[in-house]
Amino acid sequence: MSEPLTLNIGLCGFGTVGQGVWKHLSANLAELESRLGVKLNLARAAVRDPKKVRGVKIPARKLTADPLAIANDPSIHIVCELMGGTTLARQVTLAALRHGKVVVSANKALICEHGPEIIAAAQKHGGHFFFEASVAGGIPIIKALREGLVANRFPRIYGILNGTCNYILTQMEEHDAPYAPVLAEAKRLGYAEADESLDVDGWDTAHKAAVLAWLAHGVWVKPGQMIVEGISRITPDDFKNAATLGFGIKLLAVITRDLARNELSVRVHPTLLPASNVIANVSGVFNAISVTGDVVGTTLYSGRGAGQDATASAVISDIADAAALLKHGKGGHLLGEASAPARGGCRLAPPESIRCRYYLRLTVKDQPGVLARVASVMARQKVSIASVIQSPAATPGAASLVLTTHQSNERAMRDTLKLLGRLGAVLEAPLLIRSGDFD
Ligand SMILES: NC(=O)c1ccc[n+]([C@@H]2O[C@H](COP(=O)([O-])OP(=O)(O)OC[C@H]3O[C@@H](n4cnc5c(N)ncnc54)[C@H](OP(=O)(O)O)[C@@H]3O)[C@@H](O)[C@H]2O)c1
């Protein structure tokens, strides 16, 4: 019997994720090797500071401070880019692909910014690019879209893709707590970065939404082309109002495609979800995604969206796919097939095509006639009011007005917000929450 193929793996990055991959791959090596029919050799790892003391031990001779040396090392078959960032990570990824290697990435920001260039390099040089860990951590959503659901087109994908935001919203809702102290606690517990803006302003979710939209629809949508709104203006009162109306509030990525008009919409925003919706009940740092396919109907995925172990699980699944590809010359569905023209193409939906119901919170002067003026602005934009909740605001002489609307559209709501901002009686920028009418 011939010796099994030995595949050498290089980890560029040996931080949270890199160490998790090393730890779990080492622990389960014999079983994985027997399932895959190859030998897996954790050959090298690159870090910024080789002298740093690390939780997971690695022989010093295997460490380098030069990730490009791993990408260019002819003995390395699989390069895992686990550094983050978009500059050196791009160089490492492109160098490895130009050598025809398999690159495994957890880096959604890199894919979102340089995806077309990376895929083109892989196709040109015979390399391969796997990125299961880039979206929703341990949930195998990339594999689900690329393989399990390949028979489908996707009218709707939505979900919680950022555990930090979901943790903050859950704490606010459960403890009736304001945003700022909950954010501070999330930082103390290591759930939020020192600079929280990427998470709480919605950009991390937007990067992941871009990756999912591309996989599902073959179109690269930049975060700048999406509606992206974060969670920092949500208050405990919004949760109370939402509960009164029968909803919870979640930060969602929402990717919808009108198959008849062939229009695609990708957006990230706090969303009112009916309390009965399963995703409304996903708490803490967990992620959850609902995927509706035109053949299968609706499917649901939930699990840990980040953290060392969950992310390592996803990276190792890509290493296993890479091993199958290198052993048998074929793997899952290759990415060249994801291009938009081959799949009928689709255009971005104009604002008037994006329709839902809206929750609008206004802080207004507590005077007679203000509600009538607000209602008249909305009526002029043909935005029809469904309900009104009025309560005293924190500021003396001010009132909080919460209006929900019947179905309207983004264009009408944008115009409404602009006009309301010009009313002297409206004291601060209105807060808008879209409702997720998904059932
Ligand atoms: N953490 C998660 O839960 C999670 C989940 C999903 C996806 N991801 C993605 O996974 C990637 C890695 O995240 P992480 O949390 O593991 O980051 P991390 O803990 O900060 O680790 C980054 C690693 O890259 C090394 N590195 C950074 N810049 C380098 C340079 N110029 N040269 C050589 N090595 C360099 C660091 O070296 P030193 O150790 O010497 O500093 C460190 O080992 C990111 O793209 C992230 O978005 C992370």
pLDDT in tens, 138-162: 999 999 999 999 999 999 999 999 9
Residue 431 CA to ligand 1 center (angstroms) comes to 35
Residue 402 domain boundaries: 352-435
Both 270 and 329 in one domain: the answer is no
Q: What is the pLDDT of residue 331?
A: 54
Q: Is 90 exceeded by the pLDDT of residue 246?
A: yes
pLDDT in tens, 56-74: 999 999 999 999 999 999 9
Both 151 and 294 in one domain: the answer is yes
Atom of ligand 1 lying closest to residue 134 CA? 7
Instruction: Count CB atoms within 10 A of the CB of residue 181.
Output: 12
Residue 56 CA to ligand 1 center (angstroms) comes to 14
346 occurs within a structural domain: no
Does residue 311 have its Cβ closer than 6 Å to ligand 1? yes
Does residue 133 have its Cβ closer than 6 Å to ligand 1? yes
Q: Is 60 exceeded by the pLDDT of residue 354?
A: yes
pLDDT in tens, 295-346: 999 999 999 999 999 999 999 999 999 999 999 876 544 554 455 455 557 8
Residue 61 CA to ligand 1 center (angstroms) comes to 20
**Angle in degrees, CA 392, 398, 403, rounded to 5:** 65
Both 185 and 100 in one domain: the answer is no
For residue 290, what are the β-bridge partners?
Answer: 158, 300
Catalytic residue, chosen from 208, 240, 327, 365, is 208
Looking at per-residue pLDDT, the higher value among 395 and 229 belongs to 229
| Alpha carbon distance 41, 97 (integer Å) | 20
Residues 17-42, mean pLDDT to the nearest whole number: 97
Q: What is the pLDDT of residue 345?
A: 73
Both 283 and 186 in one domain: the answer is yes
Give catalytic status of residue 330 as yes or no. no
Both 201 and 254 in one domain: the answer is yes
Does residue 46 have its Cβ closer than 6 Å to ligand 1? yes
Residues 162-183, mean pLDDT to the nearest whole number: 97
Q: What is the 3-state secondary structure (H, E, C) of 113-162?
A: HHHHHHHHHHHHHCCEEECHHHCCCCCCHHHHHHHHCCCCCCCEEEEECC
Residue with the nearest Cα to atom 31 of ligand 1? 48
Q: What is the pLDDT of residue 395?
A: 87
1 occurs within a structural domain: no
Residues 87-113, mean pLDDT to the nearest whole number: 97
State the total domains in the chain. Answer: 3
Residue 16 CA to ligand 1 center (angstroms) comes to 7
Both 24 and 102 in one domain: the answer is yes
State the pTM of this model: 0.95
Does residue 107 have its Cβ closer than 6 Å to ligand 1? yes
